[in-house]
Amino acid sequence: ESGAVEATGHKVLVVPSKDGKMTAEAVESCIQAHYNDNSAEHMVQPGMVYISSPTEVGTIYHKAELEKLQAVCRKYGIPLFLDGARLGCALTAEGNDVTLQDLARLTDAFYIGGTKMGALFGEALVINNPALNKDFRYILKQKGGMLAKGRLLGIQFGELFRDTLYFDLAKHANAMARKLEKGISELGYSFLVESPTNQIFPIFPKEVLSYIQEDFSVTYWEEIDATKDAVRLCTSWATEEAMVDAFLEKLRNFGK
* Residue type, position 59, single letter: T
| Position 256 confidence tier, pLDDT thresholds 50, 70, 90 | confident
Identify the pLDDT of residue 8: 87
For the chain, what is the mean pLDDT?
96
3-state secondary structure at position 24: helix
Do 22 and 104 belong together in one domain? yes
Phi then psi for 131, rounded to 5 degrees?
-65, -25
Do 11 and 129 belong together in one domain? yes
CA distance 61 to 96: 8
3-state secondary structure at position 17: strand
Query: What are the tens digits of pLDDT across the range 85-120?
Result: 999 999 999 999 999 999 999 999 999 999 999 999
Do 109 and 212 belong together in one domain? no
What 8-state DSSP symbol labels residue 202?
B
Do 91 and 111 belong together in one domain? yes
Do 135 and 199 belong together in one domain? no
CA distance 25 to 20: 15
3-state secondary structure at position 229: strand
Do 237 and 188 belong together in one domain? yes
Identify the pLDDT of residue 248: 98
Spatial CA neighbour of 211 closest among 180, 249, 185: 249
Query: What are the tens digits of pLDDT across the range 61-79?
Result: 999 999 999 999 999 999 9
Spatial CA neighbour of 180 closest among 119, 242, 225: 242
CATH code of the domain containing 94: 3.40.640.10
Q: Which helix (H) or strand (E) element contains residue 99? A: none
Spatial CA neighbour of 251 closest among 196, 198, 220, 213: 213
Among 144, 160, 176, where does a domain finish?
Answer: 160
Looking at the structure of the chain, the number of domains it has is 2
